[in-house]
Amino acid sequence: MFARTRVWSWRIVVLFVSALAIGSFESAGFGGQPAVAQSLSAALRRTSDGKPDLSGIWQAMNAAEWDLQDHAAAKGIPAGRGIVEGNQIPYRPEALLKKKENFKNRETADPVTKCFLPGVPRIMYQPYPFQIAQGPKQITILFEYVHAVRNIFMEGSHYPGQIDWWLGDSRGRWDGDTLVVDVVHFNDVTWFDRAGDFHSDALHVVERYTPTDLDHIQYEATIEDPNVFTGPWKVSMPLYRHKEKDAQLLEYECFAY
């Protein structure tokens, strides 16, 4: 009994000391950020206007191109862990039937099998590199896949009216060290993956690009489409910097071959 009480009191002391340590850690960064976050933040490369510099050649490393959700391997498709938070996509019942139909016909019905532009966020997790070229008013993303281009305008607002673009109308802003991109004006043609996950032209995507160190960006996209889903859902994944010497974009012109 006594011995057990001593163990407990040791635990309490340890907890108390830990709490003190954390407290002092935080107070060291009072008025700013905690020390750990501060050193991380200092490690980011920054542009002359103080924003994180996302320039470089990046690529996702996952199997979401084939299926956003956890999936087993099949011919030509590696097994993969999904990038959907919670691994569930909240389809409306009738939309789920459509997704299953798409899945059955995926080898020919996926627009990417025709080399069409793949939409957002799919273009960010296709298995090809892309280059971020960052200016203060405009961030441009150049892709190897069919020389696609995304212009993210940091000024101005979405065009009014109904527009059906393959890659949407992207407007960016900074939320601390996170680039937030609001994308609307999609067509209803593109799919999220080879597995038939789809959307309507009411799709609204909000992307968050958070650099976590010099060579990684944590990418998140929140997806809303009331015609197809019962609520918003989210994908998240790291983007990795290409570190090869003299890395440069080459080409994958898809429909030229």
Partner 1 sequence: MTRRSLGSTMRAATILLALAWASAPAAGQMARARTIAGCPPTAAAFHPCALEKAKAFNPPRTPDGHPDLQGLWEAPMASGLGNIEGRRAADDEYQTGSPTSLVVDPPAGVIPYQPWARTQRRENAAKYVDPYTHCLPISAPRIMASPRTRQIAMYSGHLTVVNESGGHPFRVIYLDGRPHLSADLKLWRGDARGHWEDKTLVVDTTNFNGLSWFGSGGDFFSDALHLTERLTMVDANTIDYAVTVDDPKVATRPWTIAFALERNQEKGYEQMEEGCFESDRDTADLLLTGFQMYAGPRFPK
* Residue 164: CB minimum distance to partner 1, A: 5
Query: Least distance (Å) from partner 1 to the CB of residue 178?
Result: 21
The 15-54 contact track toward partner 1, x by CB under 8 A, reads ---------------------------------x------
What's phi and psi for 43, nearest 5 deg?
-75, -15
Would you say 5 or 162 has its CB closer to partner 1?
162
Nearest-approach distance from CB 245 to partner 1, in angstroms: 9
**CA 246, CA 224: separation in Å to the nearest integer?**
39
Paired residues of 1 in beta bridges: none
# residues contacting partner 1 (CB under 8 A)? 34
Residue with smaller CB distance to partner 1, 175 or 244: 244
Least separation in angstroms between residue 256's CB and partner 1 is 6
List binders of partner 1 among 174-233 (CB under 8 A).
Answer: 187
Residue-level length of the chain:
257
In SS3 terms, 32-93 reads as: CCCHHHHHHHHHCCECCCCCECCCEEEEECCCCCCCCCCECCECCECCECCCEHHHCCCECH
139 neighbors 154 (Cβ within 8 angstroms): yes
> DSSP string covering 209-220, please?
EEEEETTEEEEE
Residues 113-152, mask of contacts with partner 1 (x by CB under 8 A): --xxx-------------x-xxx--x-x-x---xxxx-x-
In the three-class reduction of DSSP (H, G, I as helix; E, B as strand; rest coil), residue 193 is classed as: coil
Query: Binding residues for partner 1, per CB under 8 A?
Result: 48, 55, 115-117, 131, 133-135, 138, 140, 142, 146-149, 151, 153, 156, 162-167, 187, 246, 248-251, 253, 255-256
